[in-house]
Amino acid sequence: MTKDVSPNPPEGDRPDLEHLDAALSHVDQQVTSGSIASGAAKGILYSLIETLGAFVGDPDLPEHARSGYEGLLEAARELRAKLDR
């Protein structure tokens, strides 16, 4: 049996927005407390930004879901900018 490797996963394969938000919040807390190396935080943020960008760019994503992903993407970019200072 072969696995479907289509570029656009079925809608049920997208992680919940709440899980991505929790990941971003966790990284933010770790950065604020100094409990994570800057390079590690940047790596995690890079992955989150790439994932969120792919979801936002998906033409099959319903508009109500898109706004949530866009907001989280903006928050991740702001945290990355904070780390770059």
Task: Kindly list the domain boundaries of the chain, sorted by start residue.
Answer: 38-85
Hey, is 32 helix, strand or coil?
A: helix
Question: Residue 61 has what pLDDT?
Answer: 87
Instruction: Identify the residue whose tokens are 């709440």.
Output: 18
Provide the 10 A C-beta neighbour count for residue 36.
17
Given this model, what pLDDT does residue 78 score? 95
- pLDDT by residue, tens only, the chain of 85 residues: 444 444 444 455 667 889 999 999 999 999 999 999 999 999 999 999 999 999 999 998 888 889 999 999 999 999 999 998 8
The pLDDT of residue 32: 93
- Give the span between the Cα atoms of 59 and 37, in whole angstroms: 36
